[in-house]
C-alpha cells in the first residue's frame, strides 16, 4: 500500500447555523476524527460557543484525536440582521411574516462567508469541504481552489428522492384540489401525499430562486453525505445514487456515535432540566410506558395548540415528557387550569431544551410524538421507538410518509397542511387517540416489534463491517489518495 494511505485526511465541515444542522455536523466531525482524520468546523463566534463544550468533552475523552473550530466573521448588523443573530434559534419573533423575511435575509447573508472561505481553503488546502446545502456558493469557492465540495442536507434519502420526483414531474399541478391525495411519480413504493403537505414554492420569488441555486449546487458538487443507513431506506438509497446525484455516501445514524452520558447530554444547547433528575424520574416508570413529545428546535406552536396537547395528554392517561419551546417572556396561558397539579407524577413538562437522546434511549420511553425533523426521526429509529408523526413544515411531511407508509412504525396525528413554524391545528381528541394507538394494543406491539428491529439494524450499520462503517471507509480511502 502506498504512503498516501497513511496520510492524515483533513476534512472541513461548514454547517448551516441552526441546531438541526449544527448537531449532526458536530457528530460527523467527531466521527471523522475518531476514524483518524483531522476535522475542522467552520462557524461564527456565537455558534462556536455552542460547539466548544462538546468538543472539549470529546477531546478530553480522546486526547490524541484532532478536531477544531475555525471562526468566521459574520457582522449581523452590517448585513441587515438583528445584532447577534447568528443562529436561527435567535429569531425571536412569533410573527410568521417577520420570521419569513428574516429567514430569507439570513440565508442570503451567508454569502458573506465566501471570501473568508476562499482564503482559508487557499492557505490550509483541506482534502475536502463538507458544506451545508444552504451554502450553494461554497461549490464555486471550492472549485476555484480545487477542493472537492460535498453537500450535507441533514435529511435522508427518502425526502431527497421525493422532492426530486415532485420537482421533475409536478404532480401537484394536476390535482383538482390541494387536499386530493396523489402518488409521487417514479418514486418506488407508491407513496401518497397531497399538495398542501409539500412546500410548493413560487420559483420567481427570492426564496424560490435561492432554492433553485441550492438544487443546482447539489448536482455540481462532488457528491452528497447523507445521515442515514442503507437498511432503513434501501430503495431510496439506490434511487438517489442512480438517478439524482453523481455520488452519495451514507454514514449514519450519526447520533449513535455518542455513547456515554456526557456526550449524549451535551449535543448543543444546555438542557433546561437536570439530566440526572430526568433519568431518575424515568427510572421510576415501567418499560415502554412514557411518551416523549417534542417538535425540534424551530417549530413554535400557538397557545391554543399547546392547550389542546395538554388536554389530549391528560385524557390519554399516559405518562409523558413534553418539551415546550416558548420564549421566556411569554405568559403561561397555554396550560389548562391546575394541569400540572393533576398530572403530577405522571407527566413532566420541560420548558426549553431537553436532553433528547438520553430520554429516547431510556427503557421507560415507549413512544415519540415527533415533528419528523430528520435528526429526531433518526434518533427515534435508533432508540427503537414507535412514533406519532406530527409534521409541521420543511421536508417533514415526506419524512412522515417514510414512517407511516414504508417503515410502518408510526401513526399520523392527522396534520393535513404544511404550515411553517406554527403547524396545522390538531384537536385534543386526535392527540389522545394517536398517543393511545402508539402505546397500547396489538398493532402497537407490531409497530414496536418493527421499530426494535430497525434499531438493531441502525446499530449494526455503524459497527465495524456495517454498511455505514464501510461507506465511511470508502470515502476516507478515496479522498485520502
Ligand atoms: N433537540 C434536543 N432537545 C430539544 C430539542 C431538540 O436535543 O429540546 C435536538 C434533537 O435531538 C435533534 C435536533 O435538536 O438532534 C433537532 O433537529 P431535527 O432535525 O429533529 O429538527 P429541527 O430542529 O431541525 O426542526
Q: Which of 132, 288, 361, 432 is catalytic?
A: 132
Give me ligand 1 centre to Cα 133, in Å: 18
What burial class does residue 355 get, using C-beta atoms within 10 Å of its C-beta: 0-12 exposed, 13-18 middle, 19+ buried?
Answer: buried
Question: Which of ligand 1's atoms lies nearest the C-alpha of 267?
Answer: 7
Predicted confidence at residue 356, as pLDDT, reads 97
Predicted confidence at residue 2, as pLDDT, reads 43
Give me ligand 1 centre to Cα 298, in Å: 8
Alpha-helical segments (H) within 266-420: 275-283, 303-316, 339-342, 356-361, 374-382, 396-401
Predicted confidence at residue 97, as pLDDT, reads 83
Contacts for 173 with CB less than 8 Å, ≥ 6 apart: none
* DSSP β-ladder status, 410-412 and 387-389: parallel
Predicted confidence at residue 202, as pLDDT, reads 83
Instruction: Please report, in tens digits, the pLDDT of each residue of the chain (481 residues total).
Output: 444 456 899 999 999 999 999 999 999 999 999 999 999 999 999 999 999 999 999 999 999 999 999 999 999 999 999 999 999 999 877 777 888 899 999 999 999 999 999 999 999 999 999 999 999 999 999 999 999 999 999 999 999 999 999 999 999 999 999 999 999 999 999 999 999 999 877 889 999 999 999 999 999 999 999 999 999 999 999 999 999 998 999 999 999 998 889 999 988 889 999 999 999 999 999 999 999 999 999 999 999 999 999 999 999 999 999 999 876 555 678 999 999 999 999 999 999 999 999 999 999 999 999 999 999 999 999 999 999 999 999 999 999 999 999 999 999 999 999 998 899 999 999 999 999 999 999 999 999 999 999 999 999 999 999 999 999 999 999 999 8
Radius of gyration, CA atoms only, the chain:
22
Predicted confidence at residue 7, as pLDDT, reads 86
Choosing from 15, 21, 23, 382 the residue with most ligand 1 atoms within 8 A of its CB, the one to mutate for a pocket test is 23
Choosing from 54, 295, 376, 393 the residue with most ligand 1 atoms within 8 A of its CB, the one to mutate for a pocket test is 376
- Residue 353 CB–ligand 1 contact under 6 Å: yes
The reply to whether the predicted model has a pTM over 0.85 is yes
Q: Which domains does the chain have, with CATH numbers?
A: 3-257+463-480 (3.40.50.2000), 271-458 (3.40.50.2000)
Name the residue with the closest Cα to ligand 1, atom 10.
Answer: 376
CA distances from 93 to 18, 148, 207, 327, 354 (A): 16, 38, 19, 9, 22
Evaluate whether 23 touches 132 at the Cβ level (below 8 Å): no
- Residue 391 CB–ligand 1 contact under 6 Å: no
Cell numbers describing residue 148 = 472537492
Cell numbers describing residue 118 = 476562499
What burial class does residue 113 get, using C-beta atoms within 10 Å of its C-beta: 0-12 exposed, 13-18 middle, 19+ buried?
Answer: buried
Give me ligand 1 centre to Cα 376, in Å: 6
Alpha-helical segments (H) within 362-412: 374-382, 396-401
Q: In what order do the strands lie in the sheet with 319-324?
A: 347-351, 319-324, 290-294, 365-370, 387-389, 410-412
Predicted confidence at residue 333, as pLDDT, reads 82
Q: Which of 21, 153, 250, 418 is catalytic?
A: 21
Question: Which of ligand 1's atoms lies nearest the C-alpha of 255?
Answer: 15
Choosing from 356, 369, 397, 402 the residue with most ligand 1 atoms within 8 A of its CB, the one to mutate for a pocket test is 356
Please state, in angstroms and rounded to a whole number, the distance separating the CA atoms of residues 220 and 158. Answer: 21
Amino acid at each position: 500500500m502506498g504512503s498516501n494511505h497513511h496520510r492524515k485526511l483533513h476534512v472541513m465541515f461548514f454547517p448551516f447555523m441552526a441546531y438541526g444542522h449544527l448537531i449532526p455536523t458536530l457528530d460527523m466531525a467527531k466521527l471523522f476524527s475518531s476514524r483518524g482524520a483531522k476535522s475542522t468546523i467552520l462557524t461564527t463566534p456565537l455558534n462556536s460557543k455552542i460547539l466548544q463544550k462538546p468538543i472539549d468533552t470529546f477531546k478530553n475523552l480522546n486526547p490524541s484525536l484532532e478536531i477544531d473550530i475555525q471562526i468566521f466573521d459574520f457582522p449581523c448588523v452590517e448585513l441587515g440582521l438583528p445584532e447577534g443573530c447568528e443562529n436561527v434559534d435567535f429569531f425571536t419573533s412569533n410573527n410568521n411574516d417577520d420570521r419569513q423575511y428574516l429567514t430569507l435575509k439570513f440565508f442570503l447573508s451567508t454569502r458573506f462567508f465566501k471570501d473568508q472561505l476562499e482564503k482559508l481553503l487557499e492557505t490550509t488546502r483541506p482534502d475536502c469541504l463538507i458544506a451545508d446545502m444552504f451554502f450553494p456558493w461554497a461549490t464555486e469557492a471550492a472549485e476555484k481552489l480545487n477542493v472537492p465540495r460535498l453537500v450535507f442536507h441533514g435529511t435522508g434519502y427518502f425526502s431527497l428522492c421525493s422532492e426530486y420526483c415532485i420537482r421533475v414531474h409536478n404532480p401537484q399541478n394536476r390535482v383538482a384540489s390541494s387536499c386530493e391525495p396523489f402518488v409521487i411519480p417514479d418514486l418506488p413504493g407508491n407513496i401518497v401525499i397531497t399538495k398542501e403537505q409539500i412546500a410548493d414554492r413560487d420559483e420567481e420569488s427570492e426564496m424560490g430562486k435561492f432554492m433553485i441555486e441550492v438544487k443546482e449546487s447539489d448536482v455540481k458538487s462532488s457528491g452528497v453525505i447523507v445521515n442515514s443507513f442503507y437498511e432503513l431506506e434501501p430503495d431510496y438509497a439506490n434511487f438517489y445514487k442512480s438517478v439524482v446525484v453523481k455520488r452519495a455516501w451514507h454514514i449514519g445514524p450519526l447520533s449513535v456515535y455518542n455513547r456515554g452520558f456526557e456526550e449524549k447530554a451535551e449535543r448543543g444547547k444546555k438542557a433546561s432540566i437536570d439530566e440526572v433528575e430526568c433519568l431518575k424520574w424515568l427510572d421510576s416508570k415501567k418499560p415502554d410506558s412514557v411518551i416523549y413529545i417534542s417538535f425540534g428546535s424551530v417549530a413554535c406552536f400557538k397557545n391554543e395548540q399547546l392547550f389542546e396537547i395538554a388536554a389530549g395528554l391528560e385524557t390519554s392517561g399516559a405518562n409523558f415528557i413534553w418539551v415546550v419551546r416558548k420564549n421566556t417572556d411569554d405568559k403561561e396561558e397555554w396550560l389548562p387550569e391546575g394541569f400540572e397539579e393533576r398530572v403530577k407524577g405522571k407527566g413532566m413538562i420541560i420548558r426549553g431544551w431537553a436532553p433528547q437522546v438520553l430520554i429516547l434511549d431510556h427503557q421507560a420511553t415507549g413512544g415519540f410524538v415527533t415533528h419528523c425533523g430528520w435528526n429526531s426521526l433518526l434518533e427515534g429509529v435508533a432508540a427503537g421507538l414507535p412514533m406519532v408523526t406530527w409534521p409541521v413544515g420543511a421536508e417533514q411531511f415526506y419524512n412522515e410518509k417514510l414512517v407511516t407508509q414504508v417503515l410502518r412504525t408510526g401513526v399520523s396525528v392527522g396534520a393535513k397542511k404544511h404550515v411553517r413554524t406554527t403547524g396545522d391545528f390538531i384537536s385534543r381528541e386526535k392527540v389522545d387517540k394517536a398517543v393511545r394507538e402508539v402505546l397500547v394494543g396489538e398493532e402497537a406491539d407490531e409497530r414496536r416489534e418493527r421499530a426494535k428491529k430497525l434499531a438493531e439494524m441502525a446499530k449494526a450499520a455503524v459497527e465495524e463491517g456495517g454498511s455505514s462503517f464501510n461507506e465511511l471507509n470508502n470515502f476516507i480511502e478515496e479522498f485520502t489518495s
